Amino acid sequence: MRRQNIPYTAGCALALGIFLSNAAPALDGAAPAATAAPVAARAAEDRPSPLDAALRSFVEDQASRQTATAGARLHIDIARLDGRLPACARAEPFLVPGTRLWGRSRIGVRCLEGARWTSYVPVEVSAFGSAMVLVRPVTSGEPVAREDFQLQEIELTAEPPGLLAEPAAVENRVAARYLAVGTALRAEHLRARPVMLQGDPVKVVFLGPGFTVEGEGTAAASAVDGQSVRVQVDSGRVISGTAREGHRVEIR
């Protein structure tokens, strides 16, 4: 038979359009069937097992107990238990001795019934809470004033221990070293404010049974309240006493 070239006309275009529009619903209906099983399988894999839920409850409870900062907000990531382990009818989580659930850590899981195994699961606990953060630099020996810091929420687990969250903690304290803007204040950043500085005039108080004698002197060094300090008295002698508030040195 002789093959003829049929010109592409508007009629052909209309017929092709009708064919495609009728075929589209069938094609659309077939697509979900091909992917339904994998989607269902992924959903089953993502669904936490009863043991996963028990592990999370255990970690949340233990982490809350170990968090020293009251009201800290916890974010917990727990890895899945190894799916290759033999089936277990009853398992229990436990803390590895010496473990603190703070930052990256791990918990143990032991099977008590149905199999005999012990496994360890990686855990990461992030704690967020209030801390005193400097909004201006403070030089060594300078008092830390209330306007020098703000209470801000930070990640506590990303900082060394000893963070301060109570403004009263800086009263009568000075910076132990230079502190830059953005520093989260810790106890080690501060030291007691001196009650006298080297060269300050001081009152020397001699205390004895039933008597008190006062004199004048000069502090030979800086000292905080309760610290031993050497004082040069008017006679030129150097004696030692206990530094007290008010530029006083007590000698007993």
For residue 137, the enclosing domain spans: 128-192
Whether 164 is in a domain gets the answer: yes
Same domain as 69, residue 110: yes
Last residue of a domain, one of 87, 102, 127: 127
Q: Are 54 and 121 part of one and the same domain?
A: yes
Same domain, 178 and 212: no
Distance CA 62, CA 72 (A): 14
Q: For the chain, how many structural domains are there in total?
A: 3
Between the alpha carbon of residue 91 and those of residues 2, 17, 112, 119, 155, the distances in Å are 80, 63, 5, 10, 33
**pLDDT on residue 3:** 46
Picking from 152, 174, 192, the residue at the C-terminal end of a domain is: 192
Same domain for 79 and 141:
no
Task: Count CB atoms within 10 A of the CB of residue 62.
Answer: 20
Cα radius of gyration rounded to whole Å, the chain: 37
Q: 65 and 118: one domain?
A: yes
Please name which of 153, 149, 216 lies closest in space to residue 180, comparing C-alpha atoms: 149
In a domain, 223, yes or no: yes
Q: Are residues 172 and 235 in the same domain?
A: no
Please check whether residues 209 and 188 belong to one and the same domain: no
Q: Would residue 110 count as lying in a domain?
A: yes
DSSP state of 199: T
Domain-located, residue 21? no
Residue pLDDT tens, the chain, 252 long: 444 444 444 333 333 333 334 444 443 444 444 444 444 344 445 556 778 888 889 998 888 887 766 678 899 999 988 888 999 999 999 998 888 898 999 999 999 999 999 999 999 999 999 999 999 999 999 999 999 999 999 999 999 888 998 999 998 899 999 999 999 999 999 999 999 999 999 999 999 888 888 889 999 999 999 999 999 988 888 999 999 999 999 998
Residues 110 and 173 placed together within one structural domain of the fold: no
Examine the fold and report which residue of 85, 102, 127 is the final residue of a domain before the chain moves on: 127
pLDDT score recorded for residue 44: 43
Q: Are residues 122 and 95 part of one domain?
A: yes
- The domain that contains 153 carries what CATH number? 3.90.1210.10
User: Are residues 112 and 141 both part of a single domain?
Assistant: no
Kindly state whether residue 69 falls inside one of the protein's structural domains. yes
What CATH number corresponds to the domain at position 246? 2.30.30.760
Place of tokens 């006493």: 241
Residue 182 is assigned to a structural domain of this protein: yes
Please report whether residue 20 resides in a domain. Answer: no
pTM more than 0.75: no
Is 123 within the bounds of a domain?
yes
Using alpha carbons only, what angle is made at residue 48 by residues 43 and 51, rounded to the nearest 5 degrees? 150
Do 209 and 141 fall within a single domain? no
Asked if 212 and 235 sit in the same domain, the reply is: yes
